[in-house]
Amino acid sequence: MDKLSNLALLAQMLEGAEKNIQSARQLLREIIGESGGAMPKAVDKAKILSIGAISGGGKVIEGVFDGQNMMGPDGKKYPVPANYASKSKLVEGDVLKLTISDDGSFIYKQIGPVERKKMIGILTQGERGDYRVITEGKTHKVLLASLTYYKAEPGDEVTIVVPKDQESEWAAVENVIKKAGDNSENAEAGEDKNSSDLDQDLELSGE
C-alpha cells in the first residue's frame, strides 16, 4: 500500500474514532441527565466534556452551568454574563458551549439543557443582601440581574425554574407577581425588553 493510501486510511480511522468519542460523550450526557437523584457537581459532570481548537485561532470549550459560571472539563470557571443567564433561563446542569475567539471574545451557546420544572415561591432578602426564593420548604438563590429585569422586591411572588427531580442551589426566574398593595407597574416584561443588553452580553471579553 503506497504512502497516499496509508494517509487516507489513517484519516478515515481518525474520523471514525472522533465520531465514536462524540457518541460516547452524548450517551454519558443523557445518562447523567436522566439519572435523577442529587445533581452531580458541575465540576464532575464537566469532566466528560471537551476542549477543542477552531480555525483561525481560539478554542471551543464545553462546560456545565453551576448557577453563576460555566465549569469546564479543565476544572476552570468561565464567567457567564448574568443578563445572558437570566434571559436564557439557564439552570444548574445545563451544558454550554463557549467559543473563545483569537481576540479574547467569549460567545456562549446552550447545547444540552436539562429537564426542568416550575415552582412558585416568595422572594426574600438575607442580611448580606443576597436574594432567595422560598418554596415548598426549600430556598433557591436567584441572580440579581433577573430580579432587576422584573423589578422584583422582597415579598413578591416569584415563579422559578429548576432542574426536574434534582436538587439545585440556584434557580432561574420565570416571572414575578407583585405583592398586594404594590402600585408599581406589573413586573411581567416583553421579550424584546433589554434585548440589547442580551446581545451585548453574548460577547464577553476575556483577559
For position 42, what pLDDT does the model report? Answer: 60
What string of pLDDT tens digits covers the 207 residues of the chain?
576 777 777 777 887 787 677 666 655 655 555 444 434 556 566 555 655 655 556 788 889 999 999 998 888 899 999 999 999 999 999 999 999 888 888 999 999 999 999 999 999 998 888 899 999 888 999 999 999 999 999 999 999 999 997 889 999 999 999 877 665 544 444 444 444 444 444 445 444
What nine digits make up the cell of 95? Answer: 451544558
Closest Cα to residue 144, out of 59, 85, 205, 203? 85
Q: How far is CA 5 from CA 1, 17, 40, 93, 188, in A?
A: 6, 18, 46, 45, 63
Q: What is the pLDDT of residue 126?
A: 85
Query: Cα separation of 178 and 187, whole Å?
Result: 7
Question: Which pLDDT value is given to residue 25?
Answer: 62
Residue appearing with cell numbers 429537564: 115
pLDDT score recorded for residue 56: 59
